[in-house]
Chains A and B, each alone.
Chain A
Amino acid sequence: MTDLAPPLSSQRLLAGTDHGQRLNYEQHRATHGDLLLPARKQVHQWRTTMLDQIATAGLTGRGGGGFPTARKLQSGVNGRRRPLMVINVMEGEPAAKKDSVLACFAPHLILDGAEVLATLTHAVSIAVAVARDNPAALHSLELALSERKAARHTPFDVALVAPPGRYVAGEESALAHWLDGARAVPTFRATKPSKLTIKSRPGVIDNAETSADLALIARRGPEWFRSGGLGDACGTTLATLSGNVEEPGVFEVPLGTPLRNVIALARPQGPILGALLGGYGGTFVGPAALDAPYSQSGLRPYGSSPGAGVIVAFDGSSCGVAETARIARWTANESAGQCGPCVFGLPALASELELLANGERVSGIQERILSHLEVINGRGACAHPDGVVRLVRSAFAVFANDFQAHAQGVRCPRAGAPSVLALPENSGEIEWK
């Protein structure tokens, strides 16, 4: 994550960042104009108007959940105690770089959005959380905060904080837990969505890209924002493209762009057969989905969604079973180690997938995998195990032929082919504090 290639297409969120240009505060204001926050007397009216505008804009959370932002904020605004506003720049998905790109090249857009959010929720202060193994993003945001201080622009107390960079540490309950002084592990919440608590205050957590979108909506209004998308999809979004492509990187695209055209931006090495969408807890999609609009509604028929903006395009040069096994093992190792079905279920699942991938003939292995998927699903405190289940199920559908051939002991022609996946070393020795 330290040596980020500059973003390649720049339209709205990435305006002015061509050729790897980091926008300092002055350049940021020259590009986007000033953000006008309401005077004290107008705050109440402004909140009502702004919430309406966010609803009209059709903005949905860009961190993976895709929940309508206006509805989420509504509950944060009505609390009795003033909340702590948290901007989530954790980006634990190994194949995602979009929040890091925003932080490195357009940090002030994130910080402007944080001020919009804090004003909306009447927050006491803002915490911007960046994984501690992401020094480039930390440095850029730190610099951005000092640029704002130098320009005497400090309407809120903003703390830049650096939780451990683990896959599940950016999950909102894990982040709230860490900010509360505990380990960065997900917590069990009997009802979802539930209120998060940080230092006896309500916590409102929003993703960095969502925040940046709000900075633009507050300036240019909901109609302008909507017009960034195609069809019924609203706004642009940042997609991180990798896999069998010549130019992997972060691209800003209109939501609703056909998936095939999104992938084309990264110059595929050959004909693309499908993609992994969302993240490592996302879904594989096959050739039929390539003509679908890249948006929540467009991908729903394929059981998929843009999630955290990850797109790993594949051309069939590597084995689908082997790739699935790799992700299963990696995600098993990233478990926080708290819930039995995740602690024992995910490694069991990974081992079975590895046996199958290695072409070892074990009778009934497919059935065992399917029954493990059933047993693991929905039984963790967070959605981590559910994400793995979703991923493996989608792999069974998309790579049906591969799975069949492996189960029958057919020698895999792509055994030993290089993986298209970015799989960093597992965090190993647990660092949760």
Chain B
Amino acid sequence: MEVRLRVDPVACDGFGHCAELAPELISLDEWGYPIILGESIPKQFRGVAEMAVNQCPRKALFLERVATPTTTPTTR
């Protein structure tokens, strides 16, 4: 079972805590909103990911279990 990070972009207010806590998994765009790096979270970063999720002041970050390791994001 693979796990990946997702952002609820409506809830996100660009506090940026997530990128500080998990720079291996999240970067910020020039306006301070998170960009999730990569598809699934490598095992060694699962703990960091959970911490980032728990620390989000807007509860905008969440973990999602994906059955297949490489699902392509939908474009429409």
Contacts and interface: CB of A to CB of B under 8 A. Distances in A.
A418 interface: no
Interface string B9-48: 1111110000000000000011111010000000000000
Interface in A364-380: 375, 378-380
Nearest to A281: B76
Given A190-B64, A192-B74, A383-B76, A345 B31 contact: yes
B31 A344 contact: yes
Contacts of A192: 74
Interface residues of B, number: 21
Interface in A354-392: 375, 378-381, 383, 386
Contact of A386 (B7, B8, B76): B76
Given A375-B35, A379-B35, A188 B8 contact: yes
Interface string A246-265: 00000000000000000000
A408 to B, nearest CB: 26
Given A340-B32, A345-B31, A381 B75 contact: no
Interface in A178-202: 187-188, 190, 192
Contacts of A33: none
Contacts of A342: 9
A155 interface: no
A380 B7 CA distance: 10
Interface in B44-76: 62, 64, 73-76
Contacts of A380: 9
Interface residues of A, number: 19
A341 interface: yes
A308 B20 CA distance: 42
A338 interface: yes
A340 B33 contact: yes
A283 B71 CA distance: 25
A287 interface: no
A79 interface: no
A340 B9 contact: yes
A341 B33 contact: yes
A339 interface: yes
Contacts of B14: 340
Contacts of B35: 375, 379
Given A341-B33, A344-B30, 13 more contacts: A65-B76, A188-B10, A338-B10, A340-B31, A340-B32, A340-B33, A341-B29, A344-B31, A345-B29, A375-B30, A383-B76, A386-B75, A386-B76
Interface of B: 6-14, 29-33, 35, 62, 64, 73-76
